[in-house]
Amino acid sequence: MKKIILLGAILFGTLTQAQNIAYTTNNGATIENNQVFTFNTVDAEAAKLLINLKNNGTETFRFKIRVDEVIGNELPTLEMGLQFCFSTLCYTGVVAGNLYPNNPVALAAGQTNDPADHFLNTYGGTNGAAVTYKFTVVEVNEAEEIIQDNLLKFTYIYQPTASISDFTALKNIGISLNSTVVKTQLDVTANTAATLQLFDANGKKVKTATITEGNQSVDLSALSSGIYFADFKTTGNKTANIKIVKN
What's the pLDDT score for residue 69? 95
What's the pLDDT score for residue 12? 38
What's the pLDDT score for residue 18? 55
What's the pLDDT score for residue 126? 80
The pLDDT mean for the chain works out to: 87
The CATH architecture one would assign to domain 164-246 is: Sandwich (2.60)
The CATH topology of domain 20-158 is: Immunoglobulin-like (2.60.40)
Residue boundaries of the structural domains of the chain: 20-158, 164-246
Q: What is the pLDDT of residues 199-217, one digit of tens each?
A: 887 678 899 999 999 999 9
Q: How far is CA 202 from the centre of its chain?
A: 16
What's the pLDDT score for residue 74? 84
What's the pLDDT score for residue 4? 38
- Which regions of the chain are under pLDDT 70? 1-18, 161-165, 202
Q: What is the pLDDT of residues 114-144, one digit of tens each?
A: 999 999 999 888 877 789 999 999 999 999 9
Report the C-alpha gap between 132 and 191 in whole angstroms.
37
Angstrom CA distances, 150 to 10, 38, 136, 178, stand at 16, 21, 6, 39
- Asked if the domains at 20-158 and 164-246 fall in one CATH topology, the answer is yes
DSSP symbol at 80 = S
